[in-house]
Chain A
């Protein structure tokens, strides 16, 4: 039998129709996640054409993008956001789609609730009107973001036309050094290949350093595949995957779970299978990474300085660097660890899981947020929040001077009231540092949860490994 990649196994299993191999394939979609921002026009389209949702039983909706993350018992102040949130409830009722609404105990960011509820499983095709759907690939699923017209298409047909993407193996070489994280691994990859480096490709992450990652960390890795331009990112299922999925509330249970586990493990890329492209990322010397510019490839290890556009030979790139540094109000040559921040955000589908909060809490425990810094911890879901509180993490955050908030996308994209003021600078565990992403005129430095926590304590970007010798990170 021909050796196949994980991607090929999933793709081949889901082709419903394909006229010929050179044409696009009609793929069956196993799981469709829906949220309030990219779905209203899709449901309206169904209404106008008199169509139904073909498989509400394969669809799950949740409110996350523009929900307030403060007191949920108060009415939503933003009238337009309120209308959009209410519209999702109306649409789900009318089309029988299961919904985790604002008051559901398991409400949270769509890419966090899917895995933790066992709704995301290996071998699935998964779509959502959100580019960070790539997160679910951590389970060995083929998961990718789609536009609203495609959301409507999936609602109506449970399928999607797709041209076959190329495959890319991203092999991490070496062991991940102490004090570095999956966030640093993915930022290092994006720095190496650029934000369009994987356009048209589905990435599979491999190597001992990936095998050693927890599921939470693999989700961080796959989450930012889109920031390298990839259609999707994935990791072959292994024992770590199986252990995470054991006894998830809506996944298979008992003997069905054991049987499913055997199938899941068999999805892993076969020895000898080939990829269209192979990239090696050497992480022997990996250090905590921070972004200094206005897209995720503009990053450097924390020990370095803001780069000088004059040193860049390519005039187009030099120009982009100049624009980025002007927007970020940074001078070439400034040590990165001297950049002062006014805001710190720990959360998002990239780094809003229990493991992330726990690692950040270990850094801040017994310390205080620096004067003049506003720091927020936003759990990714109701389950994450309850689990964190059961371990007392909320008390650690609050004692340090952090705000401990309700689950949602929050400051990652600033659709609700959690935004940066013009000129404010943040250390953020989110995924995009585009101009204005966290608020018009706001300046974002992407970092890991540990690094965000360290910045909150010192008031400037800081190498968490040197924060203090008594802190184990």
Chain B
């Protein structure tokens, strides 16, 4: 997994509450068995019309947002289906971070497995960023994960964001969590020896 330390990038404002994973990646694109190539289908129903042509009024179809790497949204981003295809599509499109007031739990977890940083800040801060993005299309932010800061190029806007220490370390190091867990193999084996496990009968 790509580690995340400091990232500077263009902001794309998506001013909506409750952006659900069915919107982030519609179901017709979940049949692929690969982990890559989902970026082209990101926000498909909002991005393309019935003929498959890009909708000019959708933010990610406009320059400079089509090269954005930081997504700005509102409340409860990523709600609904558990599909990890959602963070895969966002990462494949080029996003490295999402700033929102709140996230749905499963989506939030999934981001950390894919080097994508979900940043939770209060509504006032999110609204201030939307205002900045309104005034300044080329809004770039620098996100520093170690220091947990977000800053504009001219330094006029700065904020600190909270993040769980374990999750932070994981992203900073780009850790493979399975490898890490297997360090506890003895504990898992001992749990298995001391508990009656509900094994599935053979010949199901």
Contacts and interface: CB of A to CB of B under 8 A. Distances in A.
B105 A51 contact: no
Contacts of A229: 76, 79, 104-105
B159 interface: no
A401 interface: no
A38 interface: yes
Given A100-B204, A415-B30, A147 B105 contact: no
Interface string A199-215: 11000000000000000
Contacts, number: 187
B198 A16 contact: no
Interface stretch (A1-9, A79-87, A178-186, A379-387): A79-87
Contacts of B5: none
B72 to A, nearest CB: 15
Contact of B166 (A24, A129, A145, A320): A24
A422 interface: yes
A31 interface: yes
A382 to B, nearest CB: 13
B33 A81 contact: no
Interface string A408-442: 00000111000000100000000010111100110
A17 B45 contact: no
Contacts of A38: 82-84
Interface range for B:
35 or more
Interface stretch (A154-162, A342-350, A364-372): A154-162
B102 A131 contact: no
B200 A130 contact: no
B131 to A, nearest CB: 15
Nearest to B103: A199
Given A149-B114, A150-B109, A436-B45, A199 B195 contact: no
Contacts of B27: 413-415, 437
Contact of B20 (A146, A434, A440): A434
Interface in B42-70: 45, 50
Given A28-B191, A58-B200, A229-B104, A434 B80 contact: yes
Interface residues of A, number: 75
A422 B33 contact: no
Contacts of A353: none
Given A196-B102, A436-B45, A161 B50 contact: no
B34 interface: yes
Contacts of A55: 192, 197
A434 B23 contact: yes
A450 to B, nearest CB: 26
Contacts of A432: 20, 22, 80-81
Interface of A: 16-17, 23-24, 26, 28, 30-31, 37-38, 40-41, 44, 49, 51, 54-55, 57-60, 65-66, 78, 80-81, 83-84, 87, 98, 100, 117, 119, 121, 124, 129-131, 145-150, 152-153, 156-159, 161, 163, 195-196, 199-200, 226, 229, 231, 250, 295, 316, 320, 323, 413-415, 422, 432, 434-437, 440-441
27 contacts: A24-B166, A28-B188, A30-B198, A37-B83, A44-B33, A44-B34, A54-B188, A57-B197, A60-B200, A66-B31, A81-B31, A98-B202, A119-B200, A131-B81, A146-B106, A150-B110, A153-B178, A157-B178, A158-B188, A196-B76, A199-B102, A226-B80, A250-B200, A250-B201, A422-B50, A432-B81, A440-B45
Interface of B: 16-18, 20, 22-23, 26-28, 30-35, 45, 50, 74-76, 79-85, 87, 102, 104-106, 109-110, 113-114, 164, 166, 177-178, 181-182, 184, 187-188, 191-192, 195, 197-202, 204
